[in-house]
Amino acid sequence: MNKVVADANEAIHDIQDGAILMLGGFGLCGIPEKCIAALVAKGVMQLTCISNNAGIDDFGVGLMLRQKQVKKMISSYVGENAEFERQLLSGELEVELIPQGTLATRCMAAGYGMPAVYTPAGVGTEVAEGKEVRHFNGKDYLLEYAFQADFAIVKAWKGDTDGNLIYKETARNFNPLMAMAGKTTIAEVEELVPAGKLDPDAIHTPGIYVHRIFQGTGYEKRIEQKTVRKKHP
Amino acid sequence: MNKVVADANEAIHDIQDGAILMLGGFGLCGIPEKCIAALVAKGVMQLTCISNNAGIDDFGVGLMLRQKQVKKMISSYVGENAEFERQLLSGELEVELIPQGTLATRCMAAGYGMPAVYTPAGVGTEVAEGKEVRHFNGKDYLLEYAFQADFAIVKAWKGDTDGNLIYKETARNFNPLMAMAGKTTIAEVEELVPAGKLDPDAIHTPGIYVHRIFQGTGYEKRIEQKTVRKKHP
Amino acid sequence: MALTKEQIAQRIARELKDGFYVNLGIGIPTLVANYIPEGINVVLQSENGLLGMGPFPFEGEEDPDLINAGKQTITTVPGSAFFDSAMSFGMIRAGKVDLTVLGAMEVSEEGDIANWKIPGKMVKGMGGAMDLVASAKNIIVAMMHSNPKGESKLLPRCTLPLTGVKCVKKIITDMAVLDVTDKGFKLLERAPGVSVDDIKARTSGKLIIEGDIPEIQF
Amino acid sequence: MALTKEQIAQRIARELKDGFYVNLGIGIPTLVANYIPEGINVVLQSENGLLGMGPFPFEGEEDPDLINAGKQTITTVPGSAFFDSAMSFGMIRAGKVDLTVLGAMEVSEEGDIANWKIPGKMVKGMGGAMDLVASAKNIIVAMMHSNPKGESKLLPRCTLPLTGVKCVKKIITDMAVLDVTDKGFKLLERAPGVSVDDIKARTSGKLIIEGDIPEIQF
């Protein structure tokens, strides 16, 4: 059992044209930078990307969009990306927008072996079109199906050689959910340690969900909206 | 906002006859000892207890059974308890046995605002009687409803004054799930610290789910089946 | 005179109760955090996975792993906790968040809300808005009473694609404080110097006016 | 001669592959952990919330917070992780556990299993068994070939209340190794000194015998 791979190129070597990918992160926070770079370098095309956001023009999933590697985005919010907008309006890119909680829960459902879940999000809106509505305890819910993804690509803070993962702060977001949901799950981490070095009570993603892991180097971790306050003198 | 109460008696003061309770723990591991003792002392009757197990004759939920405080047990496994068996056979006690994963998932569903979930557990067995069966991707699933509980009573290792909880090892089990599911959630902890002392990345139950918290003292933590191996000399 | 955005936020802040868990949307709602009354403790939830959001960091102390749902760098307060997006929306759906404040393009007299899509314009997505409005037990909308063209945003029915139906409980605009009731928008308070007739003229949905309508005091 | 419980466990252990995540039930299945072949790394899952279960603790080192699904005190191995019961059964349902080994009272030739309830006797509950058999992709049953009355436990149909339907893939008893196939129990190996006729006599469900049936080698 060896889950450790040398780098992002090895981790994604068998991702082919037309694959369905999940990519962790919220905005540019907690995104798998190294694997995205490797996917760009490999030039794999016609991808379906399940990712809460679509990055910005020159970072994150936006780098793949720029090379027109993405056939379809499944996201909850895709602003802040001019190239994305151009491709969408020109019909080159297909987009499916779904509520953020529904996106999260459909990932979790896959990881938990639940074929579908009920959520009230989108009832009475165009999101409900074509979906089954069901009434429970005085409220309507939509039936939403678990995602099926060929690969889940996530970014964690620390990981061990057995694939156990710990995320940092709000860089957790969708990462643990997608990690559970991939047929093959690839984790890139800032620090890779031998099995046994992480506190078993503090692990967010147990190694059973992770198939490949590597330590990335030189993380940029770009900030999308730097907001600060002044120090009182 | 003050969630801290003095002790178990204060924590359970408003639990009345006929209440529906969830009690965390697996076997005798991770059970809310102090609240159980307080419930026994208070003598509240006609309880419905949702708890994976029913304790043993002289510890855990078994202490409440001995006093005939329990009208109905909802559990996955109720062995190891002679008084339980006597009450069951005499018709004094009602028991609903449900698969352990279904029990866990129905608690989680409540905490996640999902009215019902699909699980394959019990399909084709007597557990499926009267339940809706639905086919997804070549497999049958049962529709199982979220639990509704008046009080969830859980035991954690560490907690803070804002109600954030951290569990230890396999004493986690059902505790975080039930903590999310109670209309009112009571947490007893071995160590209560001021808000800010726990690592925000390591918290298992965010404080939003916890309404009352106190530090118990003199935990017995009885072992149900002591199994050991010999040290090689 | 109509309220400033800061004043709208300040008025909304009076709706906070001690111990509330609150989700504040982008825009005016974010400003509410600056006006939390003395003696009131609230915990801010950010749906990207945080309870216990604090103010913006000091210059140079930004942490790229610590942002809010608006993708802004933030800090935490003591007692904070991080969790994943499924648990985050789980606690929202389960009604654990006491109050949600968000902006809107339109609100109907039945409490429907539209705030995510304008036909013909680039659609960026609903983010977590549909989950929030479908689940929150107490939703306050913070918005201008009229759109930039001067048209009322309080309508008999929304004209834009909906975000959620029959969910808004209260609206606080630059002109007024209104409850959404079974019978329409019930006027509760008016901005200082703004008359009931001014509000009537700018409200196209059904407006209920009972008795004397006090001015908002600052 | 029929296999001992230890030998059944030893034979089952040969089904393990490197990297497998394995859930071992109470009884004979638990013993499998003692016979994991050299060079094979498996991770043991305990459905009460642990990946990376180790052996029993040394005397005096028991930890009441660290037990397995049989409520026995245990230890962990490096790389272990704890989680709640929902995630535990989540990973089981999602097919992340490669192999489940459990005991049975009866198995049918279609792979149905009964192991939780005997009508007229006190019913203790199914615990996690129904979840495991409904979800696991690869289920091996470890049991005696006959019950204490000498009746076959490999039946055309189960007579006891079912735990799960069409789920058992392989059966390893004190007499034989059998696959559950579309056409019935296929005999693969026999215990040393146990004849095919002995097995036939003790198997009431349909038994398929093709070619020479080798003895299990130890």
- The H or E element spanning position C172 is strand C170-172
Q: What is the mean pLDDT of residues D167-180?
A: 98
Residues of B in contact with D120 (CB under 8 A): none
The SS3 call for residue D103 is coil
Q: Do A117 and B115 touch (CB under 8 A)?
A: no
Residue in C18, C77, C91 closest to B208 by CB: C91
Q: For residue A166, what are its two tokens?
A: 């710990």
Q: What is the mean pLDDT of residues D111-129?
A: 93
Q: Do D43 and A112 touch (CB under 8 A)?
A: no
pLDDT confidence tier of residue C121, bands split at 50, 70 and 90 = confident
Sign, CA dihedral B40-B43-B44-B48, equals positive
Chain A stretch 113-152, residues whose beta carbon is closer than 8 A to a beta carbon of chain C: 119-127
Cα distances (Å, whole numbers) of residue B84 to B54, B55, D118: 8, 9, 18
- The H or E element spanning position B47 is strand B47-50
pLDDT in tens, B54-67: 999 999 999 999 99
Instruction: Determine contact, residues A82/A62, Cβ cutoff 8 Å.
Output: no
**Best to test chain B binding among D23, D53, D56, D84 (most B CBs inside 10 Å):** D84
**Best to test chain B binding among A106, A112, A118 (most B CBs inside 10 Å):** A118
**b (16+ CB within 10 A) / e for D90-124:** bbbbbebbbbbbbbbbbbbbbbbbbbbbeeeeebb
pLDDT in tens, A9-43: 999 999 999 999 999 999 999 999 999 999 999 99
Q: What DSSP string describes D26-94?
A: SSHHHHGGGGPPTT---EEEETTTEEEE--PPBTT---TT-B-TT-BB--EEEEEEE--HHHHHHHHHT
Residue in C80, C81, C135 closest to B113 by CB: C135
Q: Which amino acid is at D51?
A: L
Q: Which chains share 3+ C-beta pairs under 8 angstroms with B? A: A, C, D
Q: Do B141 and A115 touch (CB under 8 A)?
A: yes
- Rounded to whole angstroms, the Cα distance separating A82 from A85 reads 5
- Residue that the structure tokens 């983010």 belong to: C127
The SS3 call for residue B173 is coil
Q: Do C79 and B112 touch (CB under 8 A)?
A: no
- Rounded to whole angstroms, the Cα distance separating B122 from B126 reads 7
Q: Is the pLDDT of residue D123 over 90?
A: no
Q: Give burial (CB, 10 Å; 0-12/13-18/19+) of B43.
A: exposed
Distance from C59 to chain B by nearest Cα, in Å?
23
Pairing of strands D184-190, D176-181: antiparallel
Residues of A in contact with C127 (CB under 8 A): 76-77, 99-100
- Rounded to whole angstroms, the Cα distance separating C136 from B172 reads 29
B52 touches chain C (CB under 8 A): no
Residue in A1, A195, A208 closest to D96 by CB: A208
Instruction: Determine contact, residues A159/A213, Cβ cutoff 8 Å.
Output: yes
pLDDT in tens, C28-68: 999 999 999 999 999 999 999 999 999 999 999 999 999 99
Q: What is the mean pLDDT of residues D82-108?
A: 97
- Rounded to whole angstroms, the Cα distance separating D178 from D164 reads 19
Q: Nearest Cα to B144, choosing from B185, B180, B101? A: B101
The SS3 call for residue C205 is coil
Q: For residue B201, what are its two tokens?
A: 């990345």
Residue in D64, D65, D163 closest to B125 by CB: D163
Phi and psi angles of residue D211, each rounded to the nearest 5 degrees, phi first: 65, -160
Q: For residue A188, what are its two tokens?
A: 């890139």
Give the HSE-up count for residue A164: Cα atoms under 13 Å, Cβ half-sphere: 25
Quote the crossing angle between the two packed helices B100-111 and D85-93, to the nearest 10°. 110
In B, minimum Cα distance to D85 occurs at: B173
Determine how many CB atoms are found less than 10 A away from the CB of residue A91: 7
- What lies within 8 Å, CB to CB, of C97 at 6+ separation is B208, C21, C22, C23, C45, C91, C136, C137
A101 touches chain B (CB under 8 A): no
Q: Which chains share 3+ C-beta pairs under 8 angstroms with C? A: A, B
Radius of gyration of chain B (CA): 18
pTM tops 0.95, yes or no:
yes
Q: Do A173 and C73 touch (CB under 8 A)?
A: no
Distance from B124 to chain C by nearest Cα, in Å?
31
- Residue that the structure tokens 């009604």 belong to: C95
- Residue that the structure tokens 């530090």 belong to: B215
Residues of D serving a catalytic function are 47
Q: Which residue in C38, C47, C106, C110 is the catalytic one?
A: C47
Residues of B in contact with D67 (CB under 8 A): 26-27, 29, 170, 223-225
Looking at residue A83, what is its pLDDT? 86
pLDDT in tens, B96-150: 999 999 999 999 999 999 999 999 999 999 999 999 999 999 999 999 999 999 9
Q: Is C109 a catalytic residue?
A: no
- Rounded to whole angstroms, the Cα distance separating A40 from A95 reads 20
Q: Do B115 and A141 touch (CB under 8 A)?
A: yes
Q: Nearest Cα to B147, choosing from B192, B188, B195, B179? A: B179
- What lies within 8 Å, CB to CB, of D144 at 6+ separation is D153, D173, D174
Q: Is the pLDDT of residue A233 over 70?
A: no
Q: Is the pLDDT of residue B93 over 70?
A: yes
Residues of A in contact with D80 (CB under 8 A): 200
pLDDT in tens, A108-145: 999 999 999 999 999 999 999 999 999 999 999 999 99
Q: For residue D3, what are its two tokens?
A: 């296999």
Q: How many CB pairs under 8 A join A and D?
A: 67
Q: Is the pLDDT of residue A86 over 90?
A: no
Q: For residue D161, what are its two tokens?
A: 């209340």
Q: For residue D109, what are its two tokens?
A: 């030739």
Q: Do A204 and C84 touch (CB under 8 A)?
A: yes
pLDDT confidence tier of residue B82, bands split at 50, 70 and 90 = confident
Q: Do B222 and D64 touch (CB under 8 A)?
A: yes
Looking at residue B233, what is its pLDDT? 59
In A, minimum Cα distance to D18 occurs at: A1
Distance from B152 to chain C by nearest Cα, in Å?
14
Rounded mean pLDDT of chain C? 96
Q: What DSSP string describes A60-112?
A: TTHHHHHTT-EEEEEES---S-HHHHHHHHTTSSEEEE--HHHHHHHHHHHHT
Q: Do A206 and D18 touch (CB under 8 A)?
A: no
Q: Do A196 and D79 touch (CB under 8 A)?
A: yes
Residues of B in contact with A30 (CB under 8 A): none
- Rounded to whole angstroms, the Cα distance separating C108 from D53 reads 57
- Rounded to whole angstroms, the Cα distance separating D199 from B75 reads 39
Instruction: Determine contact, residues C31/C9, Cβ cutoff 8 Å.
Output: yes
Q: What is the predicted ipTM?
A: 0.97
- Rounded to whole angstroms, the Cα distance separating B183 from A208 reads 33
Residues of D in contact with B173 (CB under 8 A): 48-49, 84-85
Q: What DSSP string describes A136-189?
A: ETTEEEEEEEPP-EEEEEEEEEEEETT--EE--GGG-TTHHHHHHHEEEEEEEE
Q: What is the mean pLDDT of residues C90-117?
A: 97
SS3 content of chain A, % helix, strand, coil (to 5): 25, 30, 45
Residues of B in contact with D70 (CB under 8 A): 225
In B, minimum Cα distance to C53 occurs at: B200
Distance of CA C117 to the CA centre of its chain: 17
Pairing of strands D76-82, D50-53: antiparallel
Q: Is the pLDDT of residue D105 over 80?
A: yes
**Best to test chain A binding among D42, D84, D96 (most A CBs inside 10 Å):** D96
Q: Which chains share 3+ C-beta pairs under 8 angstroms with A? A: B, C, D
Looking at residue C211, what is its pLDDT? 94
Q: CATH code for C5-208? A: 3.40.1080.10
Radius of gyration of chain A (CA): 18
Residue in B161, B180, B203 closest to C81 by CB: B203
Looking at residue B100, what is its pLDDT? 98
- Rounded to whole angstroms, the Cα distance separating C61 from C73 reads 9
Query: What is Dmax (Cα atoms) for chain B?
Result: 59
Q: Give burial (CB, 10 Å; 0-12/13-18/19+) of A90.
A: exposed
Q: Do B170 and D48 touch (CB under 8 A)?
A: yes
Determine how many CB atoms are found less than 10 A away from the CB of residue D195: 12
Q: What is the mean pLDDT of residues D37-47?
A: 95
Q: Is the pLDDT of residue C89 over 90?
A: yes
Rounded mean pLDDT of chain A? 96
Domains, chain B: 8-100+147-215 (3.40.1080.10)
pLDDT in tens, A40-84: 999 999 999 999 999 999 999 999 999 999 999 999 999 878 888
Q: What percent of chain C has pLDDT over 90?
A: 95
Q: Which amino acid is at D123?
A: V
Interface residue ranges in chain D relative to chain A, Cβ cutoff 8 Å? 18-19, 21, 41, 43, 45, 51-52, 76-83, 86-87, 89-97, 135
- Rounded to whole angstroms, the Cα distance separating C175 from C146 reads 9
Distance from D174 to chain B by nearest Cα, in Å?
26
- Rounded to whole angstroms, the Cα distance separating C178 from C186 reads 5
Residue in B116, B137, B167 closest to A136 by CB: B116
Q: What is the mean pLDDT of residues B162-171?
A: 98
Instruction: Determine contact, residues D112/D165, Cβ cutoff 8 Å.
Output: yes
Helix and strand numbers (H, E) in chain A are 6, 11
- Residue that the structure tokens 């509980």 belong to: B149
Q: Do A115 and B200 touch (CB under 8 A)?
A: no
